[in-house]
Amino acid sequence: MATSLRRPSFTGCSSSPPDADDEGVRGTCEDASLCKRFAVSIGYWQDPYIPHLVRLSKERKAPEINRGYFARVHGVSQLIKAFLRKTGCNCQILNLGAGMDTTFWRLKDEDLLPSKYFEIDFPMIVTRKLHSIKLKPLLSKPILDLHSEDTLQMDGHTLDSTRYAIIGADLRDIPELEEKLKKCNMNTQLPTLLVAECVLVYMTPEQSANLLKWAANSFETAMFINYEQVNMDDRFGQIMIENLRRRQCDLAGVETCKSLESQKERLLSSGWESASAVDMMELYSKLPRAEVSRIESLEFLDEMELLEQLMQHYCLCWATKGGSNLGLKEITY
């Protein structure tokens, strides 16, 4: 439905009944959001938008968790900005399983917005985020300021504006996903960056391969960023799996998370031309020394070994297709 641009109104459509098997996955969105919100609250990085989307948890998060999230946010952000600079922002970004992510607003503040920024997540999560956008001028004003038409397309599970769209869809249902993206004017001719943070691991290997192949086949020039678990065959990895299972959250795609090599291979076998991967401890070691000194002074870390174990079980992977004239293969961390 079309609603007035200057007085945006989000209809209160009810969400579809939740699938019990997906409850645990949706719970990980909440966990990640709370962890980011806490880390921001004690100064790990600046994000004036996340307080408007996520409550501050009363539970203090462990220092190794906060440092891990800092490395994650920093690493993903650096790759996103590298892609935007290579393309001169003449591109689009698809944030898959975006949750309460605030990248769109932060990129706008840095004058690094792509031609259009899309977010996709479960309808229930999208409905919650749309509710916050509706109520918080700090979130809605940038969307409205960039909108060039008299009406804004939105309903309970979708908002489509000139530069930003948020879509409620199941990433395992490729035909539905593609249909909804095209309705929101996704342009397959534009260089496209797809970002997935702890998303593919909750799909079966077949489902995630279908998504990766669809992405590789849909865009002539593209890059895929994937942040998720790695080295999951060892004892520490098994403990991580058991802890999640106790919370009714199954890592359906964990078999692709055996090593950095298996992570790269899944990308190459899905039609991507180049693939790179680093574990988060390696990434942490490459962070600017001044930033490391700053965040390490924020709180005392009792066991460096625990941080190292945790960081060695997450990785940042990126793959490219086409874009040789833009130098996409040169992007590295």
Give the residue numbers of the binding site: 72, 97, 170-171, 197
Measured between alpha carbons, how far is 330 from 333 in angstroms, rounded to an integer? Answer: 10
**Residue 27 and residue 33 in contact, taking contact as beta carbons nearer than 8 Å:** no
For the record, the structure tokens of 180 come out as 């909804």
Residue ranges of the binding site for S-adenosyl-L-methionine: 72, 97, 170-171, 197
Measured between alpha carbons, how far is 135 from 95 in angstroms, rounded to an integer? Answer: 23
Residue 287: is it exposed, middle or buried by C-beta count within 10 angstroms (0-12/13-18/19+)? Answer: middle
Q: Give the position of tokens 């996903």.
A: 177
Measured between alpha carbons, how far is 81 from 68 in angstroms, rounded to an integer? Answer: 20
Helices assigned H by DSSP within the chain: 20-41, 63-87, 103-109, 123-135, 137-145, 174-183, 205-218, 235-246, 260-268, 280-285, 289-296, 304-311
